[in-house]
Amino acid sequence: MAMAKNGAIGLNNDIPWHISEDLKRFKSKTLNNTVLMGRKTFCSIVNRLGRPLPERLSLILTRDLVFAKRTQERFQNVHCFISLDSVLAWAMKKKFKKLFIIGGSEIYKQTLPLATELDITEIDANFEGDVFFPHFELQDWEISNKSWLFDEKSSLRFRFTTLKRLKFLEA
């Protein structure tokens, strides 16, 4: 997940910046894995790529049953669910070891209390946004930062940060 200094993660159903290294990292982490997202995030991916993320199983949370039916008929490796409980029960039944939460804001808000690890690309700038990452307490997490990098194309500083939930480390 990439986030600006002010917490912005999206604007007009798109990411407000383009950093190649961030996209490469996202791909390397999620490839051949399962990703969970909301309907708007899924639609923004399909609008950009013309298809769901390749070589990933896409799980979509949506209350729109017509969208769910049409999406599952149109695309392979896509499953739709109406609640977080139903998707988690399905994932446990399938014995997934990891589930990557890739947005949007409401999905992050619902899943943040369950997360054991956060992989964040911090963008060292504020951006206009209409979607923001939910507030969370940093003291609940062990933080591992890499040094700041610079993207020549966008002229943005960024760094990759991994946060591991402390209560899970202590157990």
Pair type for strands 100-101 and 78-81: unpaired
**What pLDDT is stored for residue 145 in this prediction?**
86
Q: pTM to 2 decimals? A: 0.93
Pair type for strands 131-132 and 8-10: antiparallel
Domains delineated in the chain: 2-170 (3.40.430.10)
What percent of the chain stands above pLDDT 90?
Answer: 93
Helices and strands per DSSP (H, E), number in the chain: 6, 11
User: What sign does the CA torsion over 119, 123, 126, 130 have?
Assistant: negative
**What pLDDT is stored for residue 167 in this prediction?**
78
